[in-house]
Amino acid sequence: MKKTWWKESVVYQIYPRSFFDTDGDGFGDLNGVRAKLDYLQELGVDMIWLCPVYKSPNIDNGYDVSDYQAIMDEMGTMEDFDRLLDDIHSRGMKIMMDLVLNHTSDQHPWFLESKSSRDNPKRDWYVWRDKPTNWESIFGGPAWTYDPKTSQYYFHLFSKSQVDLNWENAELRRAIYDMILWWLEKGIDGFRVDAINHLKKDYTDMPNPEGLNYVAAWEKMTNVQGIQELLEELRRETFGRYDVVTVGEANSIRAHEIGEWISEEEGKFNMIFHLEAHEEAWSEESVGGVDVDDLRIVLDRWQRSTQGIAWNALYLENHDRPRTVSTWGNDRELWRESATALACMYFFMQGTPFIYQGQEIGMTNAPFDDIDLYRDIETKNMYRYNRQKGVPHVDLMKTLQKISRDHARTPMQWNFGANAGFTGGKPWIPLNPNFNWLNVTAQQPDPQSVLSFYKKMVQLRKQHEALIYGSTHLTFLECPYVYAYTREYGQERYLVVSHLDNDTCSWWSPEEGQLLLSNYARHIDGKLQPYEARVYLLT
């Protein structure tokens, strides 16, 4: 495959409101990101992905943009952003922005105009209908909201404050392209493009045999026929003209479809985030482990389908998922071991690894036992709609403790001080109380810590080209809980082994191999210990 800077990069995802607060309002800010660049550089990351920092009423934490070309008050100013950009670049690092193109906030001036009258020139920039379809929105409830002023319904795939843009309208598309070009001209290095498989919809009713109020309408709102033409125009008019990297977030795309999405030949993006591993290998009801067989099937399918054609975006966590050490791993007795074994499993595959803030210190799900401790709109809606359907409060609290998006959004745990050093004020969401032992300061000096393991992984990947460009082959399939693969490149072969289980298993280490990395200080002959992980150079 062509060698490219972004293939050789490691990306760190920042959820800025929960990263570091410098002005005491309890809300992380751009200066907070700037203040922690030393930390990120020491970790070895090359690029930062910044979740939305645009002006926003924050109904969905910035994924409801009311001005694409301004910074939200809580985060700082455009001058702060420019300083951050300069600092990042002067360190030889890069930055990628989140780009929310499917919808805007209902407070965006475009929507305020659009809703002002039926004959407003921007009426058609959004989707208005006399009669709504029977679809359910992704955050629960109907996907259409009635606006009494003009007596029509507007469409929203997510919350009713996130109004879907009408991508069929050429004028709207032009306005979006101009906005993107403005950011590209500023000198940013890439985009993570939000919910991009949803740009086109087929607005017709879903079958409704059970007579539900609203019906989930996936096949009518994702990857709909004709979307590739829209994406191609987007690419051609914007990113395609710059040396930047793009990652589309595409929740329903499968490995066999990648050609038109991300192949070097005809792809519209450089990579996509798919959710398949999270959907297939872990059932939200069965916390306490991942199905290693399913994980192998899904991830290997992506590794093989992309071989020689396209590039993967590798990730374990993001701001929309609970913490993997709590879901796929064992955050109690084998917290350190399982956090590092999961890390080793995904980090050395073909693709660009993404690390989500806090993942590198093994942050866990929060023990929130009261609905008032949660902040996320999806979580709150899920609670509300299920209570209305009669699901008991206790059952819902148990579910939320496993799956809420807020588990990934509690403040970054920097040190032992008040609020883990995140803020001098009152944090916008409570901290996970385990910061009294789980934090950056505790892990920095410890060579066996999760943080030190991440640093070693990043360095290892930089030192060995095979771990970047090599082909991937599953191995040790006879060991049921071992995720193992080789990377092969020219004459070189590497072996990556992660034992994802609470017990010890028999195993035979390669006789002619040099051990490059391990998460255990002592090894047992013929065995892999619980959540033991190793990387070998095979000779």
Q: Report d(CA 320, CA 378) in Å as an integer.
A: 10
**Dihedral of CA 509/514/520/521: which sign?**
positive
Kindly tell me which residue out of 337, 378, 501, 532 binds ligand TEU, with binding defined by CB under 6 A: 378
Compare residues 158 and 383 and give the one whose CB is closer to ligand TEU.
158
* Residue 136 within binding range of ligand TEU, rule CB under 6 A: no
Kindly tell me which residue out of 63, 111, 346, 494 binds ligand TEU, with binding defined by CB under 6 A: 63
Closest separation between CB of residue 526 and ligand TEU, Å?
A: 42
Q: Report d(CA 187, CA 242) in Å as an integer.
A: 10
Compare residues 215 and 438 and give the one whose CB is closer to ligand TEU.
215
Closest separation between CB of residue 15 and ligand TEU, Å?
A: 9
Compare residues 428 and 435 and give the one whose CB is closer to ligand TEU.
428
Say if CB 498 and CB 519 are below 8 A apart. Answer: no
Within a 13 Å sphere around the CA of 379, how many CA atoms are in the beta-carbon half? Answer: 27
Please give the C-alpha separations between residue 289 and each of 111, 142, 163, in angstroms, as whole numbers: 44, 34, 37
**What are the helix (H) ranges across 36-74?**
37-43
Q: How many of the chain's residues bind ligand TEU (CB under 6 A)?
A: 13
389-397 contacts at long range (C-beta below 8 A, 24 or more positions apart): 396/371, 397/369, 397/370, 397/371
Nearest partner of 80 among 17, 15, 32, 12, judged by Cα = 32
Residues in the chain: 539
Q: Report d(CA 300, CA 303) in Å as an integer.
A: 5
Compare residues 8 and 67 and give the one whose CB is closer to ligand TEU.
67
Place of tokens 């591993």: 277
Nearest partner of 401 among 284, 295, 283, 273, judged by Cα = 284
Query: Interface residues for ligand TEU in 158-217 (CB under 6 A)?
Result: 158, 194-195
* Residue 60 within binding range of ligand TEU, rule CB under 6 A: yes
Kindly tell me which residue out of 45, 59, 97, 100 binds ligand TEU, with binding defined by CB under 6 A: 100
Q: Report d(CA 352, CA 350) in Å as an integer.
A: 7
Closest separation between CB of residue 433 and ligand TEU, Å?
A: 25
How many whole angstroms from its chain centre is CA 351?
15
Compare residues 34 and 278 and give the one whose CB is closer to ligand TEU.
278
Closest separation between CB of residue 149 and ligand TEU, Å?
A: 25
Residue nearest to ligand TEU according to CB distances in the complex = 63
The residues annotated with a catalytic role in the active site are 194, 249
Query: Residue 243, exposed/middle/buried by CB under 10 A (0-12, 13-18, 19+)?
Result: exposed
* Residue 251 within binding range of ligand TEU, rule CB under 6 A: yes
Q: Report d(CA 26, CA 22) in Å as an integer.
A: 9
Compare residues 60 and 501 and give the one whose CB is closer to ligand TEU.
60
Closest separation between CB of residue 380 and ligand TEU, Å?
A: 13
Q: Report d(CA 387, CA 403) in Å as an integer.
A: 17
Query: Interface residues for ligand TEU in 297-356 (CB under 6 A)?
Result: 319-320
Q: What tokens appear for 534 in the block?
A: 């190793």
Closest separation between CB of residue 417 and ligand TEU, Å?
A: 29
Phi, psi dihedral angles at 110 (to 5 degrees):
-60, -45
Closest separation between CB of residue 76 and ligand TEU, Å?
A: 21
Closest separation between CB of residue 444 and ligand TEU, Å?
A: 30
Q: Report d(CA 498, CA 484) in Å as an integer.
A: 6
Q: Report d(CA 274, CA 248) in Å as an integer.
A: 9
Compare residues 71 and 193 and give the one whose CB is closer to ligand TEU.
193
Q: Which residues bind ligand TEU (CB under 6 A)?
A: 60, 63, 100, 138, 158, 194-195, 249, 251, 319-320, 378, 405
